Structure 1
């Protein structure tokens, strides 16, 4: 999911990088651009890009302002089993490898996986878990990490963090596995 507002100048670059990463994954994927009320040509640029994109691209409107509101709207309208939010378009050359690994970890019973490096990361989640976390505990911005709290709502949720994400944010508790970046 890519919440965007007035990103006419950068939208094509962001979408090209994100679609390149997604097209290299071992599963089918797509991009949901959540428009938070752009007053420039952001939506038109996204529509133009979607015509020639190697992955499906759709635009979803969001009447509430803010990054978290856009992500929550994207989660609520997603047909996907798993969703991702964050800086996918700037993860670099290893983005597809990291995200493919994250998908394998999700398939193994973990509910939230954060991957990345150099302060940029992506969080992949089961859609139902994403709705809970984004609606309740995720700060506002693509550089934010979800918080899996020790409450009944989060009972049984497992989170894994890879790379400097785990070191920078001190993700060390009973609900979080901190593991090295896959080779």
Structure 2
């Protein structure tokens, strides 16, 4: 019975914190939000007063501050707890939500771009058709010991030819025995 209880524990924990996050976002009067967590991090994205915000937490960030988190779900729990604490401060009337999140605003282009990728094109100048007799094949064999072997296509064709020759030889042998 204890084993079954422990098997369901992580899923239950996940559901609890997802419900907590939903409740916190309702308290903050945020209607449209998106969240996700993976093995090492989590995020919560939302729109508030026509501005886009993204809150992130990761194992690396926690480690830099001396906290030990095991996975992305732990990060989500920490982020949810922080938002819950923020709700408590706002409910006491100290500051409003806009004041707290004003420094966290992000433009949508920052989140849409996964990273910088540079594209470049390499152009080669051809020397035209080369005469293979110009090259010393012995030198090539030393430099590229496997480069002068037949290609896979040639190898398979050679196998097919050998099979057909073997069948032909067996056929001729059978015919000669009968005669």
Q: Same fold (TM over 0.5)?
A: no
TM-score by length of 1: 0.29
Q: Between Structure 1 and Structure 2, which shows a larger proportion of strand residues?
A: 1
Larger RCO, structure (CA 8 Å, separation 6 or more): 1
Q: Between Structure 1 and Structure 2, which shows a larger proportion of helix residues?
A: 2
TM-score by length of 2: 0.30
Which has more radius of gyration? Answer: 2
